[in-house]
Structure 1
């Protein structure tokens, strides 16, 4: 049986489990194109790469298309549904996603971003864990060519975690994300990217908390670094590996976690609209409150559709 730590922590742990699940789940969308180096001093974030560490330096093309509509469906086996230290239970998860992106080119090195995303998580056996994640994001990307194509990203993100089969929120978060990454072009087909980020929660609201009680909260800020390797093996087949180390500082309860995450993907682009992927994520987390330690593996695939205009 899956249980939480105690009754007064149940709501917060549900919100925290959902946050970690969506952040560590396999990505719904691969990179827009096989990885390439910066050309012409232009950059844009790959649509759908919502998680830090997956931005791509893209080629400049004539007739820039700022709008992207995407739909994808990761499907995977997870080894630890509730992200618990012991008594792990596995399950099969399907997490369909729809998203719309607008990335206006402001100057040759400055791009805007406005996107809206909705992802639903459906569990096979433990359907009480079903939830939705709705995001609205606004930000800027700035390329500094003279500094080895340093890519700077600043975003505001509103995230709303919703109950299954409902848009009713059990957790809402307002965050500011700062990210800096430097690509190293190994050759025409391979890129190594090193980056750092901060994801700072400015405000959060959690349902189910007892009134006037300093209950354990799921609100936190994250600080981390990542190393990404991308390779285009053919014109249609490309792979990506991202290793991330992140410190998670919770606002209440005196809790601090350190997490290590490895994400691996192999992508086959059937045509300019359809991409098929094999996906996996491996994660381990250590907390100063050992009851929150856990390990999890997610293995599966993904189908993604994308239209640009």
Structure 2
């Protein structure tokens, strides 16, 4: 499977009958998958299908999906309110019978408030269903565009992470070969320190000092840390090769890298090894920052 980042953007326009619509999708980094839909009034019934489809193709990220729908203006319909007209005619007939006044004219009746109504045309159910189908199809298209963008960025991130692993491996090899961590160098340095202590006081036991020196030398050995760093490099490369939603596992490995490098720095017994450890720590931090963008 391909690697994917968690960032992407796509927009899609479409129309169906009197309806025009626009989809806008944007995804950003997140610990899990959070789909946030904004739909116009009356379109809530399509939300379950949209949400289900998004969860099928995305594993992580906050996804903002915004739908805008407009219906083209149709000719308004003029109609007579039969109930109001009947009431007006009844009142007019009663008044005419009682007063002998002339019956109301048509234009007079039409001028009365409430007799004539101007309304929007009734919606067409078939047109609405067709529009919903078009909106769902457009969502598939725009979602596929976001997925493709995330994969392209994921491929670029994979190359960057591979380079960082090579740097970590190179620096670990340099630390392993550092003259300061060779047994003879450690012994010579400790011997000098023991000699200085013996010269300053006659209360030190040489045998005891030798034992302490051996313990210090054992604690200063970074072989175990370097072995674990090498193992983490192998695991990270394997995850990058397999692809898919591996961001969380790579993030865990980044934390493990950081832990081993910190221990290496704390055990460093000369300036060259310390500088190498600090340089490795910087590369591990760059690795961790890039991993935060992976799905």
Structure with greater proportional strand content? 1
Higher RCO (CA < 8 A, seq sep 6+): 2
Structure with greater proportional helix content? 2
Q: Does the alignment reach a TM-score above 0.5?
A: no
Give the TM bin, normalised by the shorter chain.
under 0.3
TM-score by length of 1: 0.18
